[in-house]
Structure formats: structure tokens, C-alpha cells
Amino acid sequence: MRVFKFGGASVKDAAGIKNVYDVLQQVGYEDVLLVVSAMGKTTNALELVIKDYFEKSPSLQASVQEVKKYHNQILMDLFEDDKHEVFQAVQHLFSDLEYFLSHNKSPNYNFVYDQVVSYGELVSTTVLSHYMSFRGIQTQWIDVRHFIKTDANYRDAEVDWELTKNNIASNVKRKMLNVTQGFLGSDENNFTTTLGREGSDYTAAIFAYCLNAESVTIWKDVPGVMNADPRYFENASLLNQISYREAIELAFYGATVIHPKTLQPLQKKEIPLYVKSFINPLLKGTVVSKGVALEPYLPCFIVKRDQLLISLSSIDFSFIMEENISEIFALFHEFKIKVNLIQNSAISFSVCVEDKFGNFKDLNAVLSKKFKVDFNEHVTLYTIRHFNDLAAEMVEKDKIVILKQVSTETMQIITSEKQ
């Protein structure tokens, strides 16, 4: 079995859904499992619904209607008859969403987040599955929440591999096209969980591991994995092949083409990962597999914007020792703040972090009781794998360099823009 993942950009409108059909016609669809994300910016739109819900905003109903209107337009563009059963199926899902919003009693933001945003993937896969059937491709629609079981760490759930493996191996039908949702799972009480933002790639890897798949293909709007994001760097080059090790390094430092969790289960079973263009599906793209070097061997640039550089120093000028660092990292874990760079001296400790859940204000209040806390907001972290002087010079040009860290293979530079 092959596992294909299509992200939100590939199914953002009716033309995108039709293109998925065209891609399958070209590359084959028998014995394939499709993992599909929410359409376009639906997750962002549902995040607005959540915001309005918690603020008890009068705009809540309008926010929900915007999501429904967007999907209804796609349905109208895809199906000739508005009496087609897909309209009722989608309406049923939105009715479930509205029921949850009107009856939920939990004040837990992360719990509510997972229950609400999940409708993006549930609706997108329902639409795509019906469209494939409409065009003559028999499909099995799978509710991924019955297959991927997790703990109850909402918004960043850990997979229960034993339960998940048994569910998938026993229930996924072979020799046909299966369609399921990325990003989602469920806990032991069958409440919806999510695997972390952009977790659909990880979903594909989970299914591939449990099914002993032939390969995983991530379909993107780029020709493959590039050595730099073309939005920020001119003359970005395609990497034809990468080893698992190199791809894990790139993902660890924040390369957005491949989700950080995706590669470990694939490496364990030596399942190759392809990153290919849904615009030109017959191009070779990039392959990530065992024992191949980075090719061509050239600097790879990773950019993480809107970072926070925190500098901690002891109030009494005593050394910051292992016990202090252990306590600091325990707090980062508690407040769900991701550390991307570390640098320390005898009496200070600096970290570049990502505050994606907006918890730094609360963390700062705790840290300030024991440490002097300084911080720089909205800095940019550049990581250069296989760096050279020219690559570093290009990154530093017209910027203020706040911190630089160099190892054998990797250079990291924290900058702010010159005023």
C-alpha cells in the first residue's frame, strides 16, 4: 500500500479537489490511503470561531457561517445537483459542530480547540471522498479517530502505538482507495485530540508504519524539498535525495516541508518518503530514504520568524548550575514553550523560544521570582546546515546580529531588522 498526503493548499477549492482526482489518474489509486488536511485556511477560520466562543462574542454565529459558506461554495462548484448526498453529509457535520458549541461545559481551551478544529478535516475528507465516488473511483472514508488513539494532551497528543497499530492493521481495507483525516486522533474517552499543528504528515507516517507501506508521498505546491524557502531566498535549489538523518536534522531545526515527527516511524521500517508536486505529479521530486547523502551538498537555510530570545541571570550573581537549568526546562515544558536554541555562561542562560500558545507572560511571572529576566521579542532565528562564509554573510546582511552559535555542520544566527 502507498500512503499519500494532501495538505490544505492542495484542496483549498473545487479546482484543487479536481486536481487530486487528476493526480490519482496519473499515478494510480488502487491500494492507496489518502491523508487529507482541512481545506485552505479552514483551521485559521475555526480558530476564530474558538476565539469568539471564549469571548462570548456576538460574532460567533457569523464566524461559523463563514466556514459553512466557504465549504458550500466548493460543493456547488463540484457537484451538478445540490440534492447530492454530500450536501446532507456536510450539513450533518456542521450541525454537530454547532451542537458542541451550544452544549459544551468544559472551560479547557485546549480541549475545546481540538473538538472544534477537527471539523476542518472531517468536512474536507467527506467532500473529497464523495467527489472521488462521483467521478467513478470507489473509496472507503475512514474516521481516523477510531484508528489513532492518543493520550489526553489536547493540541499536542502522544500516540498510543500499540492500540493504534492494532486498529489500523485490522481495519484498513486493501486494494482500494482509502480516505482519512490528517492531524486527528482520540483519547481513551473518545474525545478528539490533535497531533500538533501541521501534524497531517505525521498521520501519514503513522499509517505507513502500521501498514508496512511501500512508500509515503507528501504532495506539495513546490517541486520537492528545497535548500531554502523560496519566499525568503532567491535561487533556491531542489534537493534530489536526502538521508533520513539529514531530513531529521532539517526538521528538528524547523524546516516546514517535513513535519518533525514524521521521519522517525518511517526510518524504523525504512519506508521511503517522497515530496512531490501536485502541479507536476510525474516529476521525481525529492526522496528521503536510507543511506543516501544530502544531494547536492550545499547550504540549507531554515527561517523561524517571530521568536523570543530570553536571557536569564542569577539575581545574586551566583552560577547558574545544572539544578537551575533543570528547573528552567521543567517550566518551559509546563508552559508548552518550545526551545530552539540554547547558550549559557557562568551566570547567564539564554534561549530562543517559540511561544505558540501565548504562555510567556505567565512563565515570565514565575521565572522572575528567581532570576533576572530580559527578553527580545519578534526576533528571527536563521539556521544554516552545511554553512559557509558566503551563506552566513547573506543571512547577516542588513540585519542586527544578536547571537551567533556555530557547530561543525550548523550555524544558528538570531537577528533583528535594522531600523
Interior/surface letters 6-23, b for 16+ CB within 10 angstroms, e for the rest? bbbbbbbebebbebbbeb
Q: Pull the grid cell for residue 405.
A: 552559535
In the numeric block, the cell 528567581 is attached to: 370
Closest CA to 201 of 263, 271, 282, 122: 263
Distance CA 143, CA 190 (A): 12
- Find out whether 155 is annotated in a ligand binding site: no
* Radius of gyration of the chain, Cα coordinates, nearest whole angstrom: 23
CA distance 409 to 388: 10
Are 158 and 151 contacting, i.e. CB atoms less than 8 angstroms apart? yes
* Closest listed residue to residue 373, CA positions, set 323, 331, 404: 331
Q: Are 50 and 116 in contact (CB under 8 A)?
A: yes
Cα 413 from Cα 411, distance rounded (Å)? 7
CB 223 within 8 A of CB 280: yes
- Give the Cα separation of 185 and 373 in Å (integer): 38
What CA–CA distance (Å, rounded) separates 120 from 40?
A: 9
In order of 9, 37, 45, the CA distances from 41 in angstroms are 8, 10, 6
Specify binding-site residues.
231
Specify binding-site residues for ATP.
231
